[in-house]
Structures are given as structure tokens and as C-alpha cells.
Structure 1
Amino acid sequence: MPPLCRALMWPAAAVVAGSLFFWNVFGAPADDAKPQSNPSAAVSAAPRETAPAVVSPLPRSVPTRLRIPGIAVNAPFTPLDIGASGHLNPPPADNANMVGWYRHGATPGERGTAIVAGHVDTKTGPAVFLYLRTMKRGSAVDITRQDGSVATFKVDSVETFSKTDFPNDRVYADTPGPELRLITCGGTYDRAAQDYEDNVVVFAHLHSVKHS
């Protein structure tokens, strides 16, 4: 069966300090897990300058649904908290079509960096972010918010980073405008470690807003 990524590992101390550190993504895989194929090399692109916001930041509002037409994602949100271990809890492993957002950080559309995470696969098969690595610059990401607005983000880059050399500051740093990070596992599956070796990160900025 396809493997499940390890748990999100965001130390509570990093949250207090105002920046998040992404060590690994998601829960223990099945013992008989097989590696996911990796058609693209895990090569990080050159550092990207933060994209300027083209619309004003939105007030805080909880995200309710994520839609990414280009990779057929239509998923509800669940809030993610820091668990007893001091790490951020992952989305439920028994729901392959759910994404989580760090609820003590920026909500999507607010000023700052909103963090959204999802599984690439689960014990039962492919999951919501299976094709996240295939997204392209300019792709649209629509997030419906509790206040009825729909925040549309445009992708600036899609990059793969080794978990042993993850650019924490670049991914989680506060930003002057509303930005979004979509994160999942990627790269080669290490059977011995029962974990993927890399993380896939989508960098995006707020492009437009629709109000109901």
C-alpha cells in the first residue's frame, strides 16, 4: 500500500518565536509501504524574491474549502494545533481529501504567510496533495473563507527541498503581503526511515478576492 508521510514537526518554541520550522511531514506508514514514484528530480530552485501583494490584505477569517482546478483538488479544511509532543498535528490520516491550516498563524488572505498542509498519500491510497508537485507558476489556488469571500492565490514557484536542509526562514518568514504556502511530502521514499526524504512547497501570493 502507498505510504503515509510522517507527522508535521513544527516545534512549539518556533511558534513562540514567530517562525515555524518544518522538519518532516505526516504520520507512520504501513510496514509494507512502497515508494511513491518521483518523476522529477528533487532540485531546489534559486531563491525567489517575495512577490508583492496585488490586492490589499483581508481581515482574519477561517478558511473552509480549498480548490485547485489544475490538479482537481476540492477539499475541506481542518485547523491544526501544536500537540503534546510540541509538534504540529497533521490532518486526519483517515480522510485522504482534507487539508489542514495552522490556525494560530495567518489565515489565507491575511497579511503574512498562511500555512496549509496535506497528505500526498495515505494507507488506503492517493491523497489530496498527490499532484501538488506538478503545479506551475501562474496556477490558481482558490480558498473559500468563513466570511463568504474567495481568496485567489497565484503560484510563484513550486520547489522541492531535502528535509535535512529545509529553508525554514524562506518558507515560514513573515511577509509584508498576503502569501500562501502549500506543503506536502515528496522525493524518494526511504523504506528504512519510513519517511519521504523531501518536502514539496508551493509559494503563492494573493492575486484577487471575490465577495459573496
Structure 2
Amino acid sequence: MSSARGSGRLVTGLAWAVLLLGLWLWGRDATGGTGSTSAPTTGDIAAVGRPLGVPLPPAHDPLKGAEPRRVEIPALGIAAPVVPRGLDGDGAVDPPPYAQAGTVGWFGGGSRPGEAGTALLVGHVDTRSKPAVFYGLSAARPGQHVEVTGADGTVAEFTIDDVQVFPRTHFDAAKAYGPRRRGRAELRLITCGGTYDRTTKAYTANVVVSAYLTDARDAAPSKPSDP
């Protein structure tokens, strides 16, 4: 029995190692489109980080978690449906197709938002002709809220506590995607950042927004339509 558990942990560890490498590769082509639009210039800086003096609430106990259906960041005007995604042939998270550039992808092979662990949400920054769902993600700041509505009707509210911009030349997958505190329910929202290099056809950085669960409630019932 202990041997089986050990093998399971090994397989899980290997799967995450492949995933983290894939996430780095994913930003090369999949999230950035062609860079034809004026994408947010976040700069190749190590971190926006947490400004001094920003009070953050205590963490909420992890929930059972549910498959996400919608994500909203009111301060950024982001509101989008969420669909489960897996890995592509290269081991990278397979984002929604460009025809659905207003949709966010959730890595269904990982944690569900609200449960203990790190849930991953990925989205395009632009397409060939226009901004995409996470175009404004680089403007996120600690203290802002992220609301994820699950398939069970629960709204998990996360508070952003860190915003990192990782240049490709100094990318640390474990630091970017690993848990910040063991036992918490955490969330990562990921897209491309920096500037678009037309020679390599890739963005120069990844924007990684980190948040943790601070509240949960039932979704508000929809209002009946007028007769």
C-alpha cells in the first residue's frame, strides 16, 4: 500500500513537472496571438509585488471546490466564462482557441478553485486583430478581488496578494506556479506580458497573478424576466 502511494506521488510530481515546463512553453505561441495589437507593456521586471501598507484579509478555509464556470475581476472590468482545458501535444496547457479569445481556460488536471492547492486559469492577451480576455491582467494589484463561480452555484472570492512578471530569460516555474502557503486555496491567473518579439514570435515575459481564498457565498439568484 505504501509503495502504491509512493508511486502515485511520483507520477503526480512528474505530471506537474511536465505541466510547469508546458506553461512556460505555452506563452511562446498560444497566449500571445501575433502581437498585432498594442499589448500591455508590463516590462521585463521581476515583480509588481505587494505594495507596503496594503491590508489583506485572512484566508478562508478551503472549500470542497467545484469546476469553474465564470471568473470576474471587477476592478479590471474582466468578466468571462471559464471552460476546462487539458494539455496539448507538447505538454502545455491548451488554452481556448482564438475564436473564443474572450473565454478563460481552467487546467482541469489540477485543483478546482476554492479547494486546497493551486488552481490555474489561463487566457490570451490578444489575437491577430484585437485585445483578448486577459489583456488588462497586468494592471491587477494586491487587494483586488477575483470571483469564481462554480458549477455548484458557489462563488469563491479570492484576494490578490501578488503580481509577478517573469521574464523568459529568468523564468522560475516553481516560484511562478507553486503554492505560496501550504494548505491554502490559491489561484493563479496567467497570460503573456512584456513586449512582443516579432523575430521569435513570442512575448518576452509571463504575467502571473496570485490570489488566495478569502470568502465564499451562494451565487445571487437571477432576476425573473419581465412578462
Say yes or no: TM over 0.5: yes
1:99-110 → structure 2 map (5 Å cutoff): 99-110=104-115
Q: Report how far residue 41 of structure 1 moved.
A: 3.0
Q: Report how far residue 170 of structure 1 moved.
A: 1.6
CA distance in 2, matches of 1:199, 1:92: 19
Who is 1:71 aligned against? 76
Who is 1:118 aligned against? 123
Q: 1:187 aligns with which of 191, 194, 216?
A: 194
Deviation by residue 1:3-46 (Cα, 9 ceiling, x = unmatched): xxxxxxxxx9842558633213243844xx54635544321139
TM-score (norm. length: structure 1): 0.83
Who is 2:24 aligned against? 23
Alpha-carbon RMSD across the aligned residues, in angstroms, is: 2.6
Change (3 A) 1:35 1:46: closer
Letter in 2 for 1:173: G
Check the 8 A contact 1:114/1:180 in 2, yes or no: yes
CA distance in 2, matches of 1:162, 1:139: 24
Of Structure 1 and Structure 2, the greater helix share is in 2
Change (3 A) 1:53 1:102: farther
Structure showing greater radius of gyration is 2
Check the 8 A contact 2:49/2:163 in 1, yes or no: no
Number of residues paired by the alignment? 197
Who is 1:199 aligned against? 206
TM-score (norm. length: structure 2): 0.78
3-state SS of paired residue (2:175): helix
Q: Report how far residue 95 of structure 1 moved.
A: 1.4
CA distance in 1, matches of 2:72, 2:141: 15
- The unaligned stretches of length 5 or more in structure 2 are 1-11, 51-55, 220-227
Q: 1:137 aligns with which of 126, 137, 142?
A: 142
- The unaligned stretches of length 5 or more in structure 1 are 1-11
3-state SS of paired residue (1:130): coil
Instruction: Find out whether 1:45 has 2:47 as its counterpart.
Output: yes
Check the 8 A contact 1:19/1:173 in 2, yes or no: no
